[in-house]
Structure 1
């Protein structure tokens, strides 16, 4: 376990850096709004909208998205319960969480995994939206850190999980 101690120390220092400045409270309000867009409702709406309006591409988009989530969610759940990494607020009295997370553990970030999964699938089927989708995913990931519920490595591994899940689904469907 000593091999990950430097990473854990960096993660905590980075969280403290992000959460201990004069803009923390105003930034947390914006971060809540951004984070809420990654709760899942928007993804269902996007998938349905694509299905209804984008012809065969929209149908494939929905199929690949559902398959990608079917791949990502069990891995996410297993990782959370295997690593059981405590959230930033639990590890330091200096870290304040601005929201109540939906589950107990922090690694990986589910919001980030879902956002990068959707960005990857969106970018594949709708290339003109790729930059916007990845910027939005990065904002969701950043919001999770700025809300004090995830460490940097949680969101990095969440992003990797989302991207790899989407690529696996794209490979299975043969798109």
Structure 2
């Protein structure tokens, strides 16, 4: 990969990589693995928030489709995860493919849905948090997380639009 992206990733780790941050990043990694944390969140929402049940179902569909799209793109693009010896790898991954970040994709989709459900912009803070966590762990380049987040947000906007059209 480009030296510039590897240098940026090393800079992120130099600033943010310490045990409390790495521990939090690993927890986010486990929560976001295969979209399972966001699907579980949507499932709880469906069960407890009857008034917004359709929105929670849209969230489940949106994060699932976003995650699936990222997996398909990974197999097409086949960009390898960071291998620069200066980069510390802080978590195991299910594949060696990096682009786009599936965690960033499904998290961005989830945050856009949660903003829609709650009527608050506060969930958007979760997008850069997940993006940074993937870089702190050394498993994604910055563009992996950025493009993944854009894909996830776009899929969520489409799912929200479909949910509103079918009311």
Fold in common (TM above 0.5): yes
- SS of the residue 1:85 aligns to: coil
Query: Which residue of 56, 63, 66 corresponds with 1:69?
Result: 63
State whether structure 2 residue 49 is matched by structure 1 residue 24. Answer: no
Q: After the TM superposition, which residues 64-143 of structure 1 pair with which residues of structure 2 at under 5 Å, given as runs?
A: 64-88=58-82, 90=83, 92-128=84-120, 130-131=121-122, 133-143=123-133
Structure 1: runs of 5 or more not aligned = none
C-alpha separation between the residues in 2 aligned to 1:110 and 1:24?
21
Classify 1:74/1:44 alpha carbon distance in 2 versus 1 (closer, same or farther; 3 Å). Answer: closer
**Would you say 1:156 and 2:150 are equivalent positions?**
no
1:101-141 CA distances to partner (integer Å, 9 max, x unpaired)? 1222110000111111000011111113x31x221232111
Contact residue 38 and residue 140 of structure 1 kept, 8 A:
no
Deviation at 1:161, TM superposition (A): 0.9
Aligned Cα RMSD in Å?
2.0
Normalising by the residue count of structure 1, what TM-score does the alignment of the two structures yield?
Answer: 0.83
Q: Which runs of 4+ in 1 moved over 4 A?
A: none
1:62, 1:30 → 2: CA distance?
26
- CA drift of 1:56 comes to 3.1
Higher Cα Rg, which structure: 1
Q: What's the TM-score, normalizing by structure 2?
A: 0.86
CA distance in 2: counterparts of 1:68 and 1:48, whole angstroms? 13
Deviations 1:138-162 (A, max 9, x none): 2111110000000110000110011
Say whether the 8 Å CA contact 2:74–2:100 is kept in structure 1: yes
Distance 2:97 2:106 in 1: 16
Aligned mates of 2:26, 2:67 — CA distance in 1: 23
Aligned residues: 163
